[in-house]
Structure formats: structure tokens, C-alpha cells
Chain A
Amino acid sequence: MCSALFTRRTSLLTLGGAGASLVLPGVAVAKPQVGVAAPAFNGVGSDGKPYKLADYRGKTVVLEWTNHECPYVGKHYRSGNMQALQKDAAAGGVAWLSVISSMPDSQGYVSAAQANDLSKARNATPAAVLLDSEGVIGRAYDARVTPTMAIIDAKGTLIYIGGIDSIRSTDLADVPKATPYVKDALRQHAAGQPIAHPVTQAYGCTIKYKPTA
């Protein structure tokens, strides 16, 4: 678990120079901001086709970070919550893209064929499953856990980022009790209303990213 990044950061801090102030080797990546252009991406789907955010101008896009072995993701698939949201999205002309950012040989990593089988097995109907094993799309959106959810409007502006709902648990019984942030946001956006909770706290399993060099 002790990644190279952390070791480096710790050692630099501990060995900090002669001066009183320490310069942190923080990774200065611009974070996605609600209300401004969503980070562009250029990925490959489990169907072998290229997927670019720019291709979706004129459509609302949902990004769903997933790891089928994570118990928090399991809660939303075993309850049928995620599949229901995907169906509603498709019916409303919303493009739903599932994103798998697990690195090879880590939890949640799947080949293209396994991703397709997985969608079938769990009755998932995303428009595409993006294979992001390098973590490029995940890092661009600062996604840290599965599930993390983002919504992008027809002009390419990020309008929602955060969790799927309000109750941090793996208990299926909590799904109907939670405030369904993503469902509400999609409904409010479709109705031309402002989104009541545009930034929420995502909860779940850490995304199994390839460590940064």
C-alpha cells in the first residue's frame, strides 16, 4: 500500500532543507470544477471504439467510475439502483459512460471481453465502458473512489461531481433511505432547474490506480 509517491513525499518532508519552510512536492494537477469546462478525454471503449468527450457536444454525459468487486459498487448493482439510473439516462437521451480505472492485476481490472461479459452479467446498459487502466481519465477528474459520478452538460460544462447518494455504507437497505444525488441532478437538469447539490462527497473503495512515477 505504501506507494512510491508517498515514500517520496515523506522522505522529502522529513529531510526538509535548512530553512524553516518546506516546499511540498505536491502534484499540481488542476482539479475539475463544477461550472467550468469538464476535463477533455480521449479513451477506448470495451467495444474497441474511441470515445472522446468532445464527440458528445449536444448531449448530457454521465461518467460512472466502477470496480465490480468493490462492495460499495456492489451495493448499487445488487440493489438495481445503478441499472435503473442507466436505463433512465438512455431513455432521456443521456450518454452514460462507465469508466474502469483499475490498473492491470488489481481489483476491478477487466479486459475488454470481460467488461462486456460483466455488463451482460449485471444487466448494465451504459452507452460504453471506457478502459482506463492507465488512470488518465480518472486522475483528470480527480476520482478517488468507486463509485464516483460526474455529469457534463451539452456544452461540455461539468455540472455535477461526487457520490451517487448520501449514505456511506455497503448496506443495500440504505439505498432507498439515501438522498439520490445523481438521480436528482439528472432530473433537475432535464427540467432546466439548478442542481441542488452540484458537489457531494463520494464514498467507496479507493480506485486502484497505477502509482504515479
Chain B
Amino acid sequence: MASRWTAAVIVPAVATLISPAWARVESAPVVTDRTRATLVAMGDAVVPGTPVPIALRLQLKPGWHTYWRNPGDSGEPASVTLHVQGKDIKGPDVWPLPERIDAAGIISYGHHGDVALLTMLPASAAEAGSVMQIDAEATWLVCEKVCVPEKGRFVLRVPVAAGPASADARDSRKPTPPAIDTASFAKTGQSLTLRVPTAALGSADGRVVDAYFFPERGDQIDHSAPQALQSRDGEITLTMPVAQFSGPAVSALRGVLTITRERADGAPRTEAFELAAQPAAP
């Protein structure tokens, strides 16, 4: 099960992604003992000239999880291939916010519940008023105490709209948490330290009492090690051991930062940010 704080993060993300407003064009399901999987077009119709997110929607039985783009210390991310108008498009491109999943101290990153993994279908020159057929195959791993690789083939027929998308429809298509681009990082042979200005963490009240960084790449930090939080002088720093298998130096460290604030009413509040940190000046 997800810990209390990660559950707080995941609920709004899923609620935003799986809203009845767009879940109207959905493929026939692939159903296993653990999963109901469908392919879903986000919107009522494809709009010529506008990219369309296509979701692999995995509705998992309670207790089961699938994996984030960086699966952490076990598992693997889902893979999707869309075949549209003679082209192959690989995904997913957009994942929901990850949870930390702990198995006796080994940490993986993944998702429980109703999970939408988005593949961006590039703007097409589809003919207005026609129906676009999207064939897809996908593989994903689900785990509870044991892991089961699953796969499915999907066919989705999406009407092509006559007119341009409304601004409202466009805005609802790619929900993302607030971005932080003022962070920096420094990496030594042993540890990686992330520095984030407090000003980048939004205006909510309450001291930051917990923070966790989920790196997009799997070869930067030790996923199962604790991350040490310090806050001082208008910034928080988060220090974590590097991965034993340490990948090449990166020009930007990307990932998701979650913070938990202590609040007067005693209920901790967790927020998530998309973070891209630059190397600290030497």
C-alpha cells in the first residue's frame, strides 16, 4: 500500500486525468485477473492540427501497482506503440505523479488505482468529419506481492472534429504540477544534493517537514536510501546517496519533487512539483 502522504498526492492527479468529460472514446477492454486496460482518447474528437494525448488506462485491483517512467529499484515502465496512418508512435510520454512503494526497504516508484499513461499523438492532417483509427499494442508489469507481465492490443476509433479545439479543451489535456526551474544540484562520488529556493515551493503556509525527489533517470541516485532534508536561509536542500551503478553526468536533473508541510491544524499537506535542476556553479 502507498504510505499516507503519497496517497494524498495521487488522488488529485488521478481525478484530473480520469474525468468523465473526456473518457468518452474508449477502446474495448483487455481484462485480466488484476487489470482492466483500455485505450482512451482524451477529448471527444481529434482536432486536425492539434496533438492528441492517447491514454493507456490501467484500472488495477486494490493492492496491485504498475510502474513510473523510472521504476526505481524493481520492475519496469509500461511500453505503448500506437499505429496511426501508417506511422508508429512510441510512448508513454506522460506519467502520473509517482508513489514510493516499499518492499522490506527496497523502494520502487509506481502507481496504484486508476492509472492513465499518456502517449502524445502528433498533430495530424486528418480529414475533418472522418474517423481516425488508432491501433495500439502495449505491455506493462503489475505487481502485488508477485509480479505479472501483461499485454494487450487495442483498437480505438476517434471522430475527427470539424473545427478547432476550444481553449478550455486544450487546457484540460495535459495536467501537470507546478514547475520549478530555479533549483540546482551538485553531485560527488558519494552523494547528490539538490537545492531548491523556498520561493519556488509556492505560497502555502507551514514548515517543510518532509521532501522526496523522484528522478526521471534510474542511474542517478540510490532509490532505496533515505533523503536528508535541511531547510535554511531561504532554501531547502535534499541530500541523497548516488546510485551504486552511477550513470553519466547530466546537464539537467529532472524529476518530481514532493514536499510535506506541517500545518497548524495538524494535518500534513503534500504538494508535488515538476523539477528541472541545473548543475550548481563550481
Do they bind each other? yes
The B-contacting residues of A in range 63-104, CB under 8 angstroms, are 69-72
- Please name the residue on chain B nearest to A75 by beta carbon: B149
- Please name the residue on chain B nearest to A163 by beta carbon: B245
Q: How far is the CA of A142 from the CA of B108 in the complex (A)?
A: 15
Given A70-B147, A205-B74, A208-B145, A6–B224 Cβ distance below 8 Å? no
A113 to chain B, nearest CB (A): 22
- Cβ-defined contact, A199 with B245, below 8 A: yes
> Which residues of B are found within 8 Å of A183, using beta-carbon distances?
none
- Cβ-defined contact, B228 with A1, below 8 A: no
- Cβ-defined contact, A1 with B103, below 8 A: yes
- Cβ-defined contact, A3 with B102, below 8 A: yes
- Cβ-defined contact, A206 with B106, below 8 A: yes
Map CB proximity to B onto A1-16 as digits: 1 under 8 Å, 0 otherwise.
1110111011001101
B192 to chain A, nearest CB (A): 15
- Cβ-defined contact, B230 with A209, below 8 A: no
Q: How far is the CA of A21 from the CA of B74 in the complex (A)?
A: 30
- Please name the residue on chain B nearest to A32 by beta carbon: B244
Question: For A71, A161, A162, which residue has the most chain B Cβ atoms within 10 angstroms?
Answer: A71
Range of interface residues on chain A? 35 or more
- Cβ-defined contact, B104 with A27, below 8 A: no
- Cβ-defined contact, A24 with B228, below 8 A: yes
Q: How far is the CA of A207 from the CA of B145 in the complex (A)?
A: 10
> Which residues of B are found within 8 Å of A171, using beta-carbon distances?
139
Q: Which of A2, A6, A161 contacts B244 (CB 8 A)?
A: A161
Q: How far is the CA of A27 from the CA of B222 in the complex (A)?
A: 13
> Which residues of B are found within 8 Å of A189, using beta-carbon distances?
none
- Please name the residue on chain A nearest to B262 by beta carbon: A14
- Cβ-defined contact, A3 with B230, below 8 A: no
Range of interface residues on chain B? 35 or more
- Cβ-defined contact, B102 with A200, below 8 A: no
Q: Which of B1, B73, B210, B219 contacts A2 (CB 8 A)?
A: B1
- Cβ-defined contact, B230 with A212, below 8 A: no
Q: Which of B3, B227, B230 contacts A6 (CB 8 A)?
A: B3
- Cβ-defined contact, A5 with B105, below 8 A: yes
Given A2-B3, A14-B260, A145-B74, A71–B102 Cβ distance below 8 Å? no
- Cβ-defined contact, B104 with A203, below 8 A: no
Q: Which of A9, A107, A135, A145 contacts B146 (CB 8 A)?
A: A107
A187: interface (CB < 8 Å): no
- Cβ-defined contact, B149 with A206, below 8 A: no
B229: interface (CB < 8 Å): yes
> Which residues of B are found within 8 Å of A170, using beta-carbon distances?
76, 141, 149
Q: How far is the CA of A25 from the CA of B105 in the complex (A)?
A: 12
A54: interface (CB < 8 Å): no
> Which residues of B are found within 8 Å of A14, using beta-carbon distances?
5, 209-210, 260, 268
- Please name the residue on chain A nearest to B100 by beta carbon: A6
- Cβ-defined contact, B103 with A3, below 8 A: yes
B240 to chain A, nearest CB (A): 10
- Please name the residue on chain B nearest to A24 by beta carbon: B226
- Cβ-defined contact, A203 with B102, below 8 A: no
A211: interface (CB < 8 Å): yes
The B-contacting residues of A in range 156-198, CB under 8 angstroms, are 161-162, 168-171
Given A22-B229, A170-B149, A206–B3 Cβ distance below 8 Å? no
Given A71-B148, A142-B244, A209–B104 Cβ distance below 8 Å? yes
Not counting A1-B145, A6-B105, A170-B76, a sample of 14 additional A-B residue pairs whose C-beta atoms are within 8 angstroms of each other reads A6-B102, A14-B209, A22-B229, A24-B228, A71-B148, A72-B147, A201-B218, A201-B219, A204-B74, A205-B143, A206-B73, A206-B74, A209-B106, A212-B104
Q: List 13 A-B contacts (CB under 8 A).
A: A5-B105, A10-B210, A20-B230, A21-B228, A22-B209, A24-B226, A70-B147, A170-B149, A171-B139, A199-B245, A208-B103, A208-B145, A212-B104
What 10 A-B pairs come out closest when comparing CB atoms? A6-B102, A209-B104, A206-B103, A24-B226, A170-B149, A206-B74, A201-B245, A26-B226, A206-B106, A21-B230
Which residues in A have some Cβ–Cβ distance to B below 8 Å?
A: 1-3, 5-7, 9-10, 13-14, 16, 20-22, 24-27, 31, 69-72, 106-107, 135, 142, 144-145, 161-162, 168-171, 199-201, 203-212
Which residues in B have some Cβ–Cβ distance to A below 8 Å?
A: 1-5, 63, 73-76, 100-106, 108, 139, 141, 143-149, 209-210, 218-219, 224-232, 243-245, 260, 268
